[in-house]
Amino acid sequence: MERIPILKMGPYLLVTIQVDMHDRVAMTLQDELTQQIVAHHARGVLLDISSVNVVDSFIGRMIGNIAGISRVLDAETVVVGMRPAVAITLVELGMALPGVRTALNVDAGMALLKSAGRIATNGRPAR
């Protein structure tokens, strides 16, 4: 059974998806990530999908779900490194992932999380 590693980086969790996401893997990831967020009191999750070439509507919804779940647990999710073809596919599938933060790469995503953390002390960020 393939598993996707979840790395802890300070107050954030880094998830790098480097295998083809099939449905079972995605479900396991959602499950483990939820537990890790609670266990580490994580403030943010970086979901790196730069190695993902193929997405379908299920995976699109899983990404949305993961973001939704972690927001409930007070951790901001940033999806980073989406490829152009994947972005076009998701839009064509009608899944523009509203409410999910995005960044071009891990660097930009980390900067976004850090700035979001600062704003969060005064209240939730606008988006």
Q: Does 84 participate in binding other proteins (rule CB under 8 A)? A: yes
Q: Spell out, one character per residue from 91 to 110, where the chain touches other proteins: x when CB under 8 A holds, - when not.
A: xx---xx----xxxx--xx-
Tokens 């490194």, residue? 81
- Identify which range of 12-20, 39-47, 83-91, 116-124 contacts other proteins by CB under 8 A: 83-91
CA 103 to the chain's CA centroid: 10
d(CA 57, CA 89): 9
Binding residues for other proteins, rule: CB under 8 A, are 79-80, 82-84, 86-88, 90-92, 96-97, 102-105, 108-109
